[in-house]
A and B are shown apart, each in its own frame.
Chain A
Amino acid sequence: MSQPKRKELETGANLPFIYREYSPGQLKDALRKMHLIRQFEEGAEESYMRGLIHGTMHLSIGQEASAMGICLPLTNDDQITSTHRGHGHCIAKGADVGKMFAEFFGKTTGYCRGRGGSMHIADVTTGNLGANGIVGGGIPIAVGAALTSKQLKTGKVVVSFFGDGANNEGAFHEALNMASIWKLPVIFVCENNGYGMSTSVERATAVPNIADRAAAYSMPGVIVDGNNLSEVAEAMHAAVERARRGDGPTLIESKTYRWRGHSKSDRNRYRTKDEIEEWMSRDPIPRLEKEMLDFGVVSQADLDAIRDSVKAEIAAGIEFAKESPAPEIKNLERYVYTEAA
C-alpha cells in the first residue's frame, strides 16, 4: 500500500472500473464471495470424495471472477438462470452456502429440499431461478423472465448464464433472436471455458469468438477477460444500463477456464497439463487480492480475516448439512404439482 496509489484511489484517475464504481466495502464483499465460491466447491469436492455427496457435480474453480463480475451490478430483485456449472452463480447472487451444502447432501433443509442436488441448485429468494441440467435449457427461460419484467414493468434485469457448448444449441439462437426483436431486458453471458465437455470451442464453433454471434441478432457482443473481475463487471454494468433503458439485450463472452474436469468422470485426455497450469497461473482470486492491496482497498490483515471467516462459514455450512434431516420417503411425490392452498 503505497501512498501514491491511495492518492490515485481518491482522485479516481486511471483506476480500473470497479475501484471507481464500488466502495471498498462492496469490493471486499465481492472478494469474499469469490473465496466463498472457491472454498464451497473445494468443500463439495472433498465431501464427494468422502462419499457424503452422491451423483456428480460440475466445478467452476478458476471461473470465480466471471460469476462475481456479472452479479456485482445486479440487485437482489434481478434474476438469473444458471447452468450445470452453477455453484458460483448461486453464491455470487447471494445464496447461503449452508442451504447449498444441505441440498448437495440431499437434505430437506437444502434449497430444493433434496430434490434437485448440484445440477438444479436454485435460490429464488435471491433471484436465482435455477441451474439446469440441459445445455441451453435456461436461455429461453431467462428471456421469458425478461418478458415478465417488461410486461409487468418491474424494472428487473435478467441474466442468462451458459457455457460455450450452449452456443451451438438451437435454443440459444431462438432465444437471442426473440430477446432482440422484443427488446427485452436480458443479458446473455457466455462463460467460454474453452471446452464443451471434451470438445474445444475451435472444433465445435464456426466463429472464432462466440460474441461474434451477437451480430446476427443485432445486439452488442462484448468479449471480456473472465478472470478479471473489473473487466467483467464493467462490461456487465454497460449491459445492465442498456437493458434498464429498454434498449434490449447484450451478449457478453467471458473467456475463462475451468481447472477441474467437466464432471467427476473426466480423465482430462483432451487438454494438456501445461495448458491447465498456464491458466492456473492466472488465478482470478490472488490477482484481485494483489490489485486491492496495491490500490489500498484492503490490508493484508483484511485479506487474512476474509479467508478465515470464509473458512469458518464453509465448515459451519457442511456441519449444518450433515446434521439436517433427510427427506421422508412418504413425501416422494410432493412438489410434482402445486398443493391446494
Chain B
Amino acid sequence: MDTTVRELSYAQAIQEAMAIAMEQDERVILMGEDIGVYGGAFQVTGDLVERFGADRVMDTPISELGGAGVAVGAAVTGLRPIFEFQFSDFATLAMEQIVNQAAKMRYMLGGAVSVPVVMRFPAGSGTGAAAQHSQSLEAWFGHVPGLKVIQPATPHDAKGMLLAAVADPDPVMIFEHKLLYKMKGPVPEGYYTVPIGKADIRREGRDLTIVATAIMVHKALEAAAQLKKEGIDAEVIDLRTIRPMDKDTVIASVKKTSRLLCVYEGVKTLGVGAEVSAMIAESDAFDYLDAPIVRLGGAETPIPYNPDLEKATVPQVPDIVAAARALATGNR
C-alpha cells in the first residue's frame, strides 16, 4: 500500500476509489445517468469514461427503476456494478428494485445468491434545488434488512468506504451529501478500506455525546469548538454507517458523558436519530443518562427554495451549540 497522503476533494476521493476498483477488477462497472462524457451531474465520475471506455462507464437512459434493476441483475450474475443515482430523490422511482429485489434476493433464495451492488446517492439540502432534489432519505433504506447504508463524512472515509462497499458481497447504499463534494481533506494514495459498520469518534469529550451523520459531523465539530470556549467539552461521534449501526461505540460514549444529542439532516420524526435514541434507551447506557435525550433533525416540511427558509429546515451550527449548551448545563 502506498501511504502517500494528499489533499483531495470528497468527489475526487470517490472518483479515485472507483478508478482503483475498476483497475483491480474487470467485473466492476459504473452505471448511471450522464456519468460518461458529461462526467456526472456533480462531476464525480469526471473523465473516467476516457480511461475505462463507455462499456464500463455506462450512460443509462433516464430509467431509474429499470437501471437499478439491471444493476441488481448484473450483480447477481457476476458483475460488480456501482450505480449512481443523479439525485437521491430519484431513488423513489427505483424503490421496487432496491427494497423488494436487491435487499431480499439472498434471503428469498435461502442464501443461494449474493447481490454485490453498490448504489450511490447524492443527497441533502443546501444547494437551492428545492423539494425534489434535496432530500435526505437514508433512514428509509436503513429500515430495510438486507441493505447496508453508509454516510461517509470525509474524503478519507468516502474513498475507503466505497472500496469497502465494492468488496462487500451485499448491497451497499452510499449517501453522499452534495455539500461535501468540494470539501478537501487528506486521502492516502492506493487501496485501503474503511470498515462498514464502525463509527468514528471525531472528537473526544467528557460533557456530552453528539452523534452526527454526514455533513452534520462537520457542523457538530464546529459547534464543539465553540462550546469548548464556554467550557463545555463535547464528544462528537461520526456514525458513518446507519445499517448495521455501531451500537457499542455510541453506548460506550454515552456511559462516559451521560448526555446524548443526535444531529441529522433527515426529517426528525422516525429518522436516524430516533433509532439512535431508542437504541440508547433500550441499552444499559440508559441508567447513565443525566438528562433526557435530545434530537435535532430536519423540519417536518419539504425542503423549500428560499435560501433562508432552506437553512432553517435543517440543523445549523448555532442550533447545535444551543441544544448542546442546554443539555450540558441543565437549562433545558
Interface residues of A (CB under 8 A from B): 79, 81, 110-116, 120, 122, 124, 129-130, 132-134, 137, 139-149, 151-152, 154, 170-171, 173-175, 177-178, 181, 334-339
Contacts and interface: CB of A to CB of B under 8 A. Distances in A.
Nearest to B115: A338
A174 B112 contact: no
A62 B114 CA distance: 34
A114 B79 contact: no
B27 A152 contact: yes
Contacts of A338: 106, 111, 114, 169-170
B96 A171 contact: yes
A170 B97 CA distance: 12
B69 A171 contact: yes
B20 interface: no
Given A171-B66, A174-B63, A337-B146, A137 B112 contact: no
Contact of B108 (A116, A143, A144): A116
Interface stretch (B33-41, B70-78, B293-301, B318-326): B70-78
A144 B113 contact: no
B65 interface: yes
27 contacts: A112-B112, A114-B110, A116-B108, A124-B109, A124-B112, A134-B96, A134-B100, A137-B69, A140-B68, A140-B69, A141-B97, A143-B66, A144-B72, A144-B81, A148-B74, A148-B79, A151-B27, A151-B79, A152-B78, A174-B61, A174-B65, A175-B66, A177-B61, A177-B66, A178-B63, A335-B111, A337-B106
Contact of B113 (A115, A124, A175): A124
The 9 tightest CB contacts between A and B, nearest first, are A144-B73, A140-B69, A174-B66, A113-B110, A141-B73, A112-B110, A174-B63, A338-B169, A144-B74
Contact of A111 (B60, B105, B112, B169): B112
A144 to B, nearest CB: 2
Contact of B65 (A140, A181, A335): A140
Contacts, number: 149
| Interface hub of A139, A141, A177 (most chain B Cβ within 10 A) | A141
B101 A141 contact: yes
Given A113-B111, A144-B76, A174-B61, A336 B71 contact: no
Nearest to A119: B108
A149 to B, nearest CB: 8
A154 to B, nearest CB: 8
A112 B108 contact: yes
Contact of B70 (A122, A129, A132, A178): A178
Given A112-B108, A130-B109, A177-B66, 18 more contacts: A112-B112, A122-B109, A129-B77, A137-B96, A137-B101, A141-B72, A144-B72, A144-B77, A145-B76, A147-B70, A148-B77, A148-B79, A151-B27, A151-B79, A171-B65, A335-B109, A337-B148, A338-B114
Given A174-B63, A338-B114, A147 B69 contact: no
A336 B72 contact: no
Nearest to B81: A144
A177 B107 CA distance: 30
Nearest to B100: A134
A141 B69 contact: yes
Nearest to B112: A124
A132 to B, nearest CB: 8
B55 interface: yes
B67 interface: yes
Contact of A147 (B63, B65, B74): B74
Contacts of B146: 336-337
B29 interface: yes
B307 interface: no
A135 to B, nearest CB: 10
A170 B63 CA distance: 9
A33 B61 CA distance: 40
Nearest to B56: A151
Given A140-B68, A177-B66, A178-B63, A145 B111 contact: no
| Interface hub of B78, B79, B108 (most chain A Cβ within 10 A) | B108
Contacts of B170: 337-338
Nearest to A127: B77
Contacts of A177: 61, 63, 66
Contacts of A145: 73-74, 76-77
A134 B72 CA distance: 15
B73 A142 contact: yes
B110 A141 contact: no
B78 A181 contact: no
Contacts of A339: 111
